[in-house]
Amino acid sequence: MTRRPRLVATDLDGTLLGADGRVSDRTRAVLVALEEEHDVPVVFVTGRPVRWMEDLWVDVGGHGLAICSNGGIVFDVAAREVRDAFAIAPATLLDVADRVRAAVPGTMFALETLTGFAHEPEWRPRPGGGRPHRGPEPVVAPLAELVADDAPACVKLLARHDEADPEDYWRALDATVGDLATVTWSSTTALVEISARGVTKATTLATLCAELGVEAADVVAFGDMPNDVPMLTWVGRSWAMADAHPDAVAAADAVAGRHDEDGVAATLAALFGLAGWAGADDQSPGGPR
């Protein structure tokens, strides 16, 4: 990349957000400066469902677009509504579930839909707890009922196993149903995320950029987990976080600082010459990987 970027795409958890799950004051100041001083939009590109985003919209100025559910949704922040959705066909979803159950018995399934969260009766609270539920009360029913003709469209299928090794489980499911759907992983547990075939963070970001007249070469991106790999390889220049998964580091062009040390903000401040925000140890826009 030899010209100044026109758009910044960033993952959230493990990337832009600190250890407390929030955008730090330093990072927020950099995002505001990019938009107000350089007219460069920042697009959140996250595996999070929309229901986990409400307290973060202020950090993109309360307007613009965001990509949620690993590319399954384009969300209009100002209107607070889904603009585009790329759903999994019900027949495909049931086929995926059948194959996975046969390959890895003990798997439980849940759905992120256009109206909230739904899960099988077998889906139970994770041992040791987890994130508190957000949004409307979950719909609980057998999987076939959750994808009936009158059910809300599913943009992300979640498969979980409480005894499997997380990375082995992800790779096993990819081998089992990767021909039917997009299988990825961004958790520290055996929780695998499944999208419609061909739908990734990168494909939806590419669609959004085409609408804005922004070429891939003019986009920079940040990420930390395997679900970020398609995006990191599609953009003109990409950074994995210093504490990122090895797959993300291998896919990125460079390595930024840690997510809990404002690594994205430091890299962007150096890249755009934002005086006072790079920090004493962050004067270059990321070293080689």
- For the stretch 210-246, pLDDT in tens is 999 999 999 999 999 999 999 999 999 999 999 999 9
pLDDT-derived band at 128 (thresholds 50, 70, 90) equals: low
Give CA–CA dist 238/68, Å, rounded.
Answer: 19
Structure tokens of 4?
């100044």
Cβ(236)–Cβ(216) below 8 Å: yes
Which residue, among 89, 80, 84, has the nearest Cα to 69 in the 3D structure? 84
| Share of the chain residues as helix, strand and coil, in percent rounded to the nearest 5 | 35, 20, 40
Q: pLDDT band at 130, cuts 50/70/90? A: low
What is the model's pLDDT at position 125? Answer: 75
Q: How far apart are the first and last CA of the chain?
A: 16
Of 33 and 129, the one with more pLDDT = 33
Interval 11-16 mean pLDDT: 96
Residue 143 Cα distances to 106, 120, 218, angstroms? 15, 6, 42
Q: Which two tokens stand for residue 239?
A: 């950074």
The model's pLDDT over 236-276, given as tens digits with 9 standing for 90+, comes to 999 999 999 999 999 999 999 999 999 999 999 999 999 76
Say yes or no to pLDDT of 278 above 60. Answer: no
- How far CA 84 is from CA of 29, 69, 81, in Å, comes to 29, 12, 9
pLDDT beyond 90 at 64? no
Mean pLDDT for the chain overall: 91
Q: In this predicted structure, what is the pLDDT of residue 12? A: 96
Residue in the structure block whose two tokens are 């979640």: 158
- Nearest Cα neighbor of 87 from 8, 7, 128, 146 is 146
Confidence at 98, pLDDT banded by 50, 70, 90: very high
Please state, in angstroms and rounded to a whole number, the distance separating the CA atoms of residues 289 and 251: 9
Share of the chain above pLDDT 90, in %: 83
Contact 21, 13 (CB under 8 A): yes
What is the band of 133 on the pLDDT scale with cuts at 50, 70, 90? low
Q: What is the pLDDT of residue 134?
A: 73
pTM of the model: 0.91
Q: Quick one: tokens of 33?
A: 């400066």
Note the pLDDT of residue 127. 63
> What is the percentage of the chain residues whose pLDDT exceeds 70?
92
Confidence of residue 131 (pLDDT cuts 50, 70, 90): low
Q: Could you tell me which of 5, 53, 62 has the C-alpha nearest to residue 28? A: 62
Average pLDDT on 197-216 reads 97
Instruction: Please answer whether residues 13 and 223 qualify as being in contact, where contact means their C-beta atoms are separated by less than 8 angstroms.
Output: no
Exposure of 135 by Cβ count < 10 A (0-12 exposed, 13-18 middle, 19+ buried)?
middle
Give SS3 for 245: coil
